[in-house]
Amino acid sequence: MVLPIHVQAKVKIPEDVPRDIVGFLKRLVGPIAEAADFLGDKIRYYRFASAMKTVVRAREINEQVGISPKEIPLKFLVPFLEDCSLEAEESPLIEQWAKLLSSASANFDPVHIAIREVLKNISAIDAGLIMYLGSQIQKEYFDDDTSSHNTIESSAGYVRDSIERYVGELKELPAENEVSYLMGDFIDGKPILPLYCQLPSGYLGVSQFLESKILHEKKGSLYLLERLEILKTLEYRRQYSSNPDFPEFIFSWLQFTPFGLEVYQHCVRDPVHKKRARAARKPRGQTRPNRIRKTPR
């Protein structure tokens, strides 16, 4: 006869951890006996201070936005605490980890697991690039909960149309100063990061290859974010000659993938802004634009 074996983990969280934080953790893990003690033991081997700092900040965000935390699957929560505990205690990425935990506690979705994998691999510089791109997208898209796929499709069409109008108004092949404008001031306010421009020189088979400043300075970050499928490469092409051997004018840039926009919304964008935006919504019957439109310079 095989007798049932009952095992209970009784590992105490350090005494200096505030009881209200322990209570917050217990709300996230649900009615599991000694779950908070288990979590405390699980991350003890890493950087307990960083993990607790993340939890404290997530609780503050919830209070600021008015989120009542719900249970989070341990399959997400335990690896999350292990991963965020590896950050240095003063790392600026603690804020991104906290925003992700807050988002997951509001309404858990499998996308939070995918985003957790992203945070394990990026730096504060990478997060800054994500913040920049997201800040260039019209706030109406977030206020109306427009899908990420629709937002990205709209922004891609907007950028292509803007470049087409600008380049199409030039009477001849763009000069280098006009290409510099395309890679600098022109992209201001647009959710893209310029990469390079192929500029035909006027001779058959000959062209110049001009790289953007950001590609020189943050090449590693751009490649990493593209490999993580947060960014994708797009380009605009224009043939200035009927001769097929004459090189095309090519302008290439990076912009969000739909998943990249989800990363921005769940762990980079300020959740307080979203609360304020909802409070300021227009009355029913008034419509918002379904395309991103700005007049190019």
CA distance 83 to 117: 9
CA angle 257, 66, 128 (to 5 degrees): 35
- Domain residues of the chain, as ranges? 19-120, 140-279
Three-state secondary structure call for residue 253 = strand
Rounded to two decimals, the pTM is: 0.76
Three-state secondary structure call for residue 206 = coil
Q: Are residues 254 and 192 in contact, defined by beta-carbon separation less than 8 angstroms?
A: yes
Tens of pLDDT along the chain (297 residues)? 333 333 333 334 455 555 666 666 666 665 543 444 555 555 454 457 888 899 999 999 999 999 898 989 988 998 998 899 889 888 999 999 999 999 999 999 999 999 999 999 999 999 999 999 999 988 877 777 788 999 898 888 888 999 999 888 887 888 888 888 888 888 888 899 999 998 887 665 567 888 888 988 999 999 999 999 999 999 999 888 787 778 888 999 999 999 999 999 999 998 754 444 444 444 333 334 344 444 343
Q: 108: buried, middle or exposed (CB in 10 Å: 19+, 13-18, 0-12)?
A: middle
